[in-house]
Structure 1
Amino acid sequence: MMARALELAAKGLYSTTPNPRVGCVLAQGETVVGEGWHEKAGGPHAEVAAIAEAGP
């Protein structure tokens, strides 16, 4: 799952400066329940996007 988080982080290559590129994968056991990445500087962090995708 770390490899997937790195793939997601790469999506922010030209849009997150001066912030780092970050990807996040939320899992329950071996099942991915949410993913996200830091899309742009000043935007929500990767973790926020992943939690939103995972839902309640």
Structure 2
Amino acid sequence: MATPAETAAMREAIALAARGLGRTRPNPVVGCVVLDASGEVAGCGWHQRAG
């Protein structure tokens, strides 16, 4: 079962991925949130453009 921090991180990753909609073709949109061992965000990003 996912922790509340993991669930929040997944929601944020999906929101970040949405920023790439219409800009990454032919590649998929991708969002990522990395959590450290304590559940804090260590980094995040998204696929911003094709290439």
1:36 match: 45
Q: How much has 1:23 moved relative to structure 2? A: 0.2
Question: What CA distance in whole angstroms lies between the structure 2 residues aligned with 1:25 and 1:15?
Answer: 20
User: Percentage identity across aligned positions?
Assistant: 52
Higher relative contact order (CA 8 A, sep 6+): 2
Q: Which runs of 4+ in 1 moved over 6 A?
A: none
Q: Is the radius of gyration larger for structure 1 or structure 2? A: 2
2:23 match: 15
Task: Provide the alpha-carbon RMSD of the alignment.
Answer: 0.6
TM (norm. structure 1) is 0.71
TM (norm. structure 2) is 0.78
How many residue pairs match? The answer is 42
* Structure 1 residues without counterparts, runs of 5 or longer: 43-56
Question: What CA distance in whole angstroms lies between the structure 2 residues aligned with 1:35 and 1:11?
Answer: 13
* Structure 2 residues without counterparts, runs of 5 or longer: 1-8
